Amino acid sequence: MRIVPFALPEEGDTFCANLGDPGSSFQAVNGGGNEAGYDYVRLSSMLQFSDAAIGALRNYYASLLFPPDKLEDNGDAWNPDHYDKATWRGLLCIAIMTTGDTWDKTKLEGLRQLFDIYHYLAAQGVVGRWVKVYRPKVEGDDPTMYFERLGGDHLRGLIIPKRPAPSSVKIYPKVLLPDARYAITFQESAAETECTGAELMRQGLVIDRMSPGELIYLNLPLHPGSKRDHQPPTAPGNIAKRSAENMGYPGVELQ
């Protein structure tokens, strides 16, 4: 194993990468918010784009330069014991990083749902290497509080409010396929509708009263929490059970 240190531009910030293991990675830090470059970011698994944590603004501007799932906010600012779905679901616009723990079962369930949604988006191509990022036009609220993800085919996407709108808001998604039809569903609201990309971009989507933690899905009707999937999963096959040890603790491993 070969450990090679990399010195960051800001004095005192260092990190290490294990170049002998192709499965390893490292987290990069933005040198106080001024030193990130694309060649530097592409070598890392994630980039903490602000050492100080910049709140709900997050990667509205940073994602103009870097893929959103390469970016993370300062994890120290996101303690699970402070979980609140009204603002934490806004973390879906970046790679989610938390620091800490909680014994609150309600907050643990909220975190499980948050990561479940992120994994679902990754499986649907709305998170990852080829995701498209847009900043929807917004009437009635601060547009920097809204983030649009689209898959590479522009047929599936998610609009993420980083916190509930203070009043009625109209959102105009961008770069949809004009002739394609989009089923619009929500994380919190039971409302649903369908229209073409051209209609949605021209007329916008009106939300009179936004629920805390609301998310707006485009052609992703089976998102976690939708209650639309009634097909139970098939039983797994080729299961192997054996004794194993993890971090010094013995147990049973299922493979």
Question: What is the per-residue pLDDT across 144-158, written as a single tens digit (0 to 9) for each?
Answer: 999 999 999 999 999
Q: Where are the domains of the chain?
A: 85-228
Tell whether pTM > 0.85: no
pLDDT at 48: 83
In this predicted structure, the answer to whether residue 80 has a pLDDT above a threshold of 50 is yes
**What are the phi and psi torsion angles at 91 (to 5°)?**
-70, -10
pLDDT at 253: 92
pLDDT, tens digit (0-9, with 9 covering 90-100), for 161-217:
999 999 999 999 999 999 999 999 999 999 999 999 999 999 999 999 999 999 999
Q: What pLDDT sits at residue 15? A: 42
Which residues touch 195 (CB under 8 Å, ≥6 apart)?
A: 181, 182, 184, 203
pLDDT of res. 21 = 57
- Which pLDDT score, from 0 to 100, does residue 202 have? 97
Pairing of strands 3-7, 193-196: unpaired
Average pLDDT of the chain, as a whole number? 86
- Does residue 205 contact residue 182 with C-beta atoms inside 8 Å? no
Average pLDDT for 218-240:
89
Do the strands 146-150 and 132-134 form a parallel or antiparallel pair, or are they unpaired?
antiparallel
pLDDT value at residue 17: 44
- Residue 230: the pLDDT is 84
Query: For residue 183, what are the contacts with CB-CB under 8 A and spacing of at least 6?
Result: 192, 193, 194, 218, 219, 221
The CATH architecture assigned to 85-228 reads Sandwich (2.60)
The predicted pLDDT at position 229 comes to 81
Residue 4 has pLDDT above 50, yes or no: no
